[in-house]
Amino acid sequence: MHLLLIPLVVLLGIAVGWSIGANDAANSLGTAVGSKVLTLKQAVVLIVIFGFLGAFLQGSHVVKTIGKGIVPMGMLDSTTSLYIALVASFAACAWVVLATTWKMPISTSHSIVGAVAGAGLAVHAPINWKVLFDIFICWIFTPVGAAILGYIFYRIFKNIFYRFVPRRYIKISMALLIITSGCYVAYTWGANDVANATGVMVGAGVLNQHVSVAIGGLAIVLGIATLGYKVIETVGSEITQLLPIMAFSAQLASAINVHIYTIAGIPVSTSHSIVGAIFGVGLVKGMRVINLRILKEIVFCWLATPFVSGIISFLILKGIKIFVKM
């Protein structure tokens, strides 16, 4: 039974990676698609390339937090660790896939953190509440910080850009800035979110960090290529109508925001970051340009995510414990 759990954990880790790519691809270049700078196909290709680079080059920072920071799986017996990894991956993946079918850009970081904590509680494992509290505080500041940066950047760039760039170069310059900042978002997204797919694998001792990050990066790429377009439509055009300079300001704000947390090893939501940044640039023109209905739906899904995935993993693992001794 122990040996059977290992490939199942890997498969579900790949499934989580796929769901991340399917739901979170929009965070990178959805704004570029919404502002008509890139086509959907062009955006997907760039997200694939830079998302994988981020996962491979800097994904290890957050892997440690997800794998061993919330529930110290290295201190538990191997069977219990594998079951936590298995159930947490399933619960996180199930909720993210459901939200993706609703075209809602939820947080895979919130989903896996909630699922790991729920699974840990089900087997009475020690929970590092300080780490959870720190993560929770950062979750609050992620969209707020991105909104502030987005507001400031748009205020600055909308005045500077049109004043100093010659009229005949405005269109090409703006397109290059949007694409470059979008690729930066994709890089930071890959670096922060690959841990959501692979952290529990590393924590349970199934794979080493480098192999798991590579597998997780490829799984994310698969998710982008197969289903990533759904949420791109929501982020790109349904929150607020984006002018090119707004898209650039939002993407730069989101990327800087997420990169800071990634270096600190904190799993934050790239969904929260980009939506917060879009909200911030939209505020420059006033609340009338913000689609409050779609924003309320997104915020509701954000709040529900860690609790839903945590409850799913808690109940499933409690059910498994009836038949398996842990």
Q: What is the dihedral of CA 199, 200, 201, 206, to 10 degrees?
A: 130
pLDDT at 162: 83
6 pLDDT band (50/70/90 cuts)? confident
Q: Is the separation of the CB atoms in 146 and 254 below 8 Å?
A: yes
pLDDT of residue 318: 93
How many Å apart are CA 234 and CA 247, to the nearest integer?
A: 14
Which residues are within 8 A (CB) of 107 and not within 5 positions of it... i.e. 6 or more apart?
A: 139, 269, 270, 271, 272, 302, 305
Domain span at residue 122 reads 2-323
What band does 148 get if pLDDT is binned at 50, 70 and 90? very high
Q: CB–CB of 54/189 below 8 Å?
A: yes
Percent of the chain with pLDDT strictly greater than 70? 86
Per the document, the length of the chain is: 326
pLDDT in tens, 242-257: 678 888 898 899 999 9
Instruction: Using DSSP, state whether 93 is helix, strand or coil.
Output: helix
Give yes or no for a contact between 192 and 109, defined as CB atoms under 8 angstroms apart: yes
Write out the DSSP string of 27-65: HHHHHHHHTTSS-HHHHHHHHHHHHHHHHHHHTHHHHHI
| pLDDT recorded at residue 257 | 95
Is the pLDDT reported for residue 56 higher than 80? yes
266: phi > 0 → left, psi -120 to 50 → alpha, else beta; which? beta
Q: What is the pTM of this model?
A: 0.81
Q: Are 232 and 25 in contact (CB under 8 A)?
A: yes
Ramachandran assignment for 255, one of left (phi > 0), alpha (psi -120 to 50 degrees), beta (any other): alpha
In the DSSP assignment, the letter for residue 269 is: -
Tokens standing for residue 112? 């896996």
Tell which wins on pLDDT, 213 or 227: 213
- pLDDT at position 76, please? 82
Higher pLDDT, 107 or 9: 9
Provide the pLDDT for residue 187: 93
Q: Is pLDDT of 105 > 90? A: no
Q: Please report, for residues 80, 162, 163, 253, 278, the alpha-carbon distance to residue 152 in angstroms, rounded to integers and kept in the order given.
A: 48, 16, 17, 9, 12
Residue 108 pLDDT grade (very low, low, confident, very high; cuts 50, 70, 90): confident
Per-residue pLDDT band at 233 (split at 50, 70, 90): low
Q: How many domains does the chain have?
A: 1
More confident residue, 284 or 286: 284
Q: Are 106 and 271 in contact (CB under 8 A)?
A: yes
> pLDDT band at residue 119, thresholds of 50, 70 and 90?
very high
The per-residue pLDDT for 324 is 78
CA distances from 160 to 23, 164, 168, 250, 296 (A): 34, 6, 16, 16, 33
With a cut of 90, say whether residue 210 has pLDDT above it.
no
